[in-house]
Each structure stands twice: as C-alpha cells, then as structure tokens.
Amino acid sequence: MTESSRAEASANGAAAPADPAAQPSRWQRWRSALQLTSFRRRWLSIFALSFTGLMIRFLVPVPVAQADNRDGPRLMCGLGLEPVTHGMPRFFRYAYFQYDTAAKCDGRAPYPSSQLVPLEIARLLTPVFGLHGALNMIALGILMCALAAVGIASLAMGLRIRLWAQLLVAAVIWLFIADSAFFDVFAGPFSEGAALVGLLLTAAGVLYLGRGWRSTIIGLVLAGTGGFLAILSKEQYLILAMPICLTIVLATAQPGHWRRLERFRTRECAAAFGVSALLAIMTVAYLGWDFTSHYGKRLHYIQAVDMIFTDIVNKRSTAGPALRALGLPASWKRYAGRYYWHPRSVRTNPNFFRYVTKFTDSNIAHYLITHPASIWTIGQAAAIQAQKFRVTQLGDYPVYAGHRPGAYESRVIVMTWLMHQLPAGLGFGWYLPLWGAMAVLAIAVIAMRRPNRWQRDAAVLVLCMTCCAATAFIPPAYFAGISTTRHMVGTNLSTGIALVFAIALACSLVYRAISRSRTEPVTGAPAAMPELAKPSS
C-alpha cells in the first residue's frame, strides 16, 4: 500500500492493513506480558519479605508446631499416617514432624477437611525438600507460610493507597499471622491451619471484587480458594459459608440501589454467582456427610456430651432443672463438669445409650432458646476463653530441641501481649461492642455517596470479617464444649483483620473531616483527599 492510499484510507475512517513485519512475534508478546509492572514489583517484594520472615520464624533455631491433643489421628490416620515418636509421649508434650505409614490406619476413611489438600501437597514436597518420612510436617509448614505470604501481599496491594500505608498494613497483618496464637497450628496435625489461611485469602480477595473484569477474577480466585479452605476445614466452620458467599456476590455487584437487580446482570456477577454456588454446594455436601455418616453422628454426640456436662450442667447444685429440661435423668448431676473422655463421665453409665438421642445439637439449641439467660452465661464463658487468645497447654517443640516436655514457644507474641492487656474476664464486654462498632463503621462508609475507592474496599472487608468472626464464634461457644480457646482462633483472626482495617478507615475519616474543616469552601473545588489515598494521576 502506498503512502497516498494509506492517507486516503485513514481519511475515510478505514483501518490500514497492518504490515506483517511490524507485528510483534510470539516471544515479544510473552516478554511484554511478563514485564514487571509497579504493582507486580511491589507485590513480589511484600511476598518475599513476608515469606522470608515467616520461614525464619518457623525454622530458626528449630521448627515449631502445636503438639497433638488427641485430635490429630482423626485427620492423619485417615491418610494412613502416624508420627514417629521414638518412644516419647505422643500427645500434648512434643511436636512431631515425621509421619510414616501405619498398618493400623489401613482402611480408615479420611476425615473430610480442606486441610487434606495442603497435606497431600506436603506429601509430594517432602522428598523434594529432602525431608524424612512419607509426610514431613515441615513441608506443610513451608507451604502454609507461602500461602500466608500470598494473602499478606495480596491484602496490602489490594488497597489503593500509598506505598508506606501498604507496607504498614502488611507489617501489622504479618504480626497477626506470625503470632504464636495462630502460627503454631500451621505445621500441626489440625484443620485450623487451613481455616486461618483461608480467612486471610478471603479477606484479600474481597478487596478486588467489583473493580473490573481482571481485578474481579483475581478476587474470585483468592476469595474462592480462601472460602474453600476456611469453610470446609472442619464442621465447626461450615457456618462461614453464609458471610463469605454473600460477600462474594454483593461485593461484585455494580454500585447502585440495593433493590436494582440490574446491578447483578454483569459477567463479573455471573462469575461471582458461580463461585458462591460451588462453595454452597460443597457446604451442603459436607453437611450431608456430617449428619448421615457414623463418624459424623458419633462426633456430634461426643461434642453434645461435652457441651451439656461442661457448660450447661457444670455444677451439681443447679444441675437438676437443666437435666430435666434436656430430657435427661436428674440423677446424672453427679457427672457435672466431666467431659466425654473423663474416666468417670456419663458415657460409663449403663443407661447412657438409652438417652443417646438427647445428645444432639437440636436438643441443645432447644434448651438455649427456651432458657435465653443461658445464651448469655454460656456465651460469656466462651468469650472469656477466646480472650485468652492462645493455647499454652500443648507443647510446641520437637524432642531434639532439648526443652522440657510441654514447653511452648513465644517467638512472636505481640498480638497475644496486647490482648492480655485487656481486663481479664471481659469476654462479651470486649467482643460485642467491638463487632458492633466495626459493623456500623463499615455500613456507614458503604452508604456514603462518594467514598474513596480504597475506603469502599476496606469497608466491605471489615463487614465481611466482622460477620465471619461473629458466626465462627457460635459453634465452639454453644455446641462444642471443650478446647474453646483453640477453637476460637478463626474468630480471633477475623476480628484482628477487621480491626486493622477499621482503625485505618476511622483514621482516614477523621483526617478527612479535619481537612475539610480547615479548608475554606470554594465553589467547584474538589473535595479534600484523605492522607492514605493515592493522588490522582
């Protein structure tokens, strides 16, 4: 084509055919796609720093993990594995990392948990890292550190704020994840590791929803993966499906009045509905197993025994009326305060199986509804246990570390220390006002006419994590009975993440109000920009 014909085609609005020699090659297109943008460089930098810090915290001078409290075989024996203890006490005292196949576990069905996925990946990584055993929990710890670093980097970079503020957010979230209250389960034989990492990834994914197709896909991958890990980690966390699935759908919708269904008629919302539907289907499938399998039924009545005799009927002097209300013999008051595995618990009574149908969640729920005062007293006792923040009854060190049996580590305990500065026994006096204040703040920001972009994203995160914290509190508080502090790690981490962003939101709103009050009104002048927000380009 001549220059004159190109000019004529341009004048007529037609596109000139491209010169084949000017077309980029496949290598050039790949090279362009792989070039590190400012966002990618920052993300990789925060990920590398977070991962390195977590690895040092995990492995130096020796690896640490929470010792088995007899819950481990439920997960590990289902994989056909048991720890190599060399004759040392298996439970409570030491952390064991090397697991080998065990003949006594043959034929045992695995306990359904999303934790099985990282465990199977760790099994594959064990020989890659040159570790001993069929599965070495050090490989699991490294994998969980990497996933947590992905969550921290994505969480910090998901906020459209200045670099110093992103680094500050990443540092504070790192202190939460690295705290002994949470970190010690990463390489332990429990399901809580998947729940904690899942909550972190969900929080990060929420920030990217509703920001265009590419960002929404990133958010759905993060929130979908996190939702899978958190919701399906164990039956106590199935309730998280409600706040997580609702947040994924609602946060992806276009801005506008909540009654307008047109907000949901986008391809982003279609993808969000798909992810939420998949999580909901898996949750229903888990519930089906939980209520129909022999293992699930047995686990539920064990938990019901624990709940009834350690939380509801915990004093012989007041046990009679409560036992009658539960449909149990009043003479069983002698078992008050004894959990299921106590050597003289109610399970040793010859008439126990005559009343086994009374040890159900529905019977406990009926009692709570008909005795509303017990909702407060039982919940307050559980909140006090949650306020303890970390478990100190289980050892954290391997035998070769040379520590006394049952010794627990305190490498990073900033958040635990801050939590222990609160008045002991505050319980609901801490959690309920905090959850209420964070929810009100988030709703107020979302309802603002023109919130800054990062404020809207942070408000959605705060509301999601606050709802996750409150809902995750219910099963261990009212239907589990024992090990309440360990079972409250999901509630405490969700509360902590929400609190970090709620404080940032509150500071930004206060700064915005002060800036506006100091600035004289000028017709047509743009509103003052909060300190944290990125300046317009």
Distance of CA 302 to the CA centre of its chain: 25
Could you report the per-residue pLDDT of 153-200, keeping only the tens digit for each? 999 999 988 899 999 999 999 999 999 999 999 999 999 999 999 999
CB 75 within 8 A of CB 189: yes
Q: How much is the mean pLDDT over the chain?
A: 87
Q: Indicate the range of 34-43, 179-188, 412-421 predicted with least confidence.
A: 34-43
Residue whose token pair is 């980097």: 153
Helix (H, G, I), strand (E, B) or coil at 76: helix
Overall number of domains in the chain: 1
Residue 437 buriedness (CB in 10 A; 0-12 / 13-18 / 19+): middle
pLDDT at 525: 47
- Phi, psi (5° rounding) for residue 71? -85, -20
- Phi, psi (5° rounding) for residue 165? -70, -40
Q: What order of strands is seen across the sheet that includes strand 81-83?
A: 81-83, 98-101, 135-136
pLDDT, average across residues 208-226: 94
Report the alpha-carbon distance of residue 298 to residue 225 in Å, rounded. 30
Could you report the per-residue pLDDT of 13-32, keeping only the tens digit for each? 444 445 555 566 666 555 55
Per the model's pLDDT, the better-predicted residue between 301 and 501 turns out to be 501
pLDDT at 152: 97
pLDDT at 442: 95
Question: What is the pLDDT confidence band of residue 78, given thresholds at 50, 70 and 90?
Answer: confident
pLDDT above 50 for 527: no
Question: What is the pLDDT confidence band of residue 405, given thresholds at 50, 70 and 90?
Answer: very high
Report the alpha-carbon distance of residue 188 to residue 5 in Å, rounded. 72
Max Cα–Cα distance, the chain, nearest Å: 105
- Phi, psi (5° rounding) for residue 212? 100, 165
- Phi, psi (5° rounding) for residue 322? -65, -40
Question: Under 8 Å CB-to-CB from 6, ≥6 apart: which residues?
Answer: 16
pLDDT at 324: 92
Residue type for 385, please?
Q
Helix (H, G, I), strand (E, B) or coil at 100: strand
Rg of the chain in Å (alpha carbons) = 27
Structural domain contains residue 55: yes
Handedness of CA 31, 32, 37, 40 (dihedral sign): negative
pLDDT at 23: 62
Question: Beta strand 135-136 with 81-83: parallel, antiparallel or unpaired?
Answer: unpaired
Structural domain contains residue 242: yes
Report the alpha-carbon distance of residue 171 to residue 281 in Å, rounded. 36
pLDDT at 485: 86
pLDDT above 90 for 433: yes
Report the alpha-carbon distance of residue 386 to residue 396 in Å, rounded. 20
Task: Give, as one character, the DSSP assignment of residue 208.
Answer: T
Planar angle of CA 474, 479, 482, nearest 5 degrees:
105
CB 144 within 8 A of CB 158: no
pLDDT, average across residues 100-127: 91
Structural domain contains residue 329: no
CB 360 within 8 A of CB 400: no
325: number of Cβ within 10 Å: 16
Structural domain contains residue 299: no
pLDDT above 80 for 343: yes
Planar angle of CA 210, 36, 26, nearest 5 degrees:
100
Question: What is the pLDDT confidence band of residue 295, given thresholds at 50, 70 and 90?
Answer: confident
pLDDT above 80 for 500: yes
Structural domain contains residue 357: no
pLDDT at 448: 83
Structure tokens at 277: 């539907």
pLDDT at 33: 52
pLDDT, average across residues 489-498: 96
Give, for 171, the enclosing helix (H) or strand (E). helix 163-178
Domain range holding 453?
A: 38-292+407-518
CB 51 within 8 A of CB 145: yes
Structure tokens at 244: 């997580």
Question: What is the pLDDT confidence band of residue 480, given thresholds at 50, 70 and 90?
Answer: confident
CB 413 within 8 A of CB 392: no
Structural domain contains residue 460: yes
Structural domain contains residue 396: no
Structural domain contains residue 337: no
Residue type for 15, please?
A
pLDDT above 50 for 281: yes
CB 166 within 8 A of CB 207: no
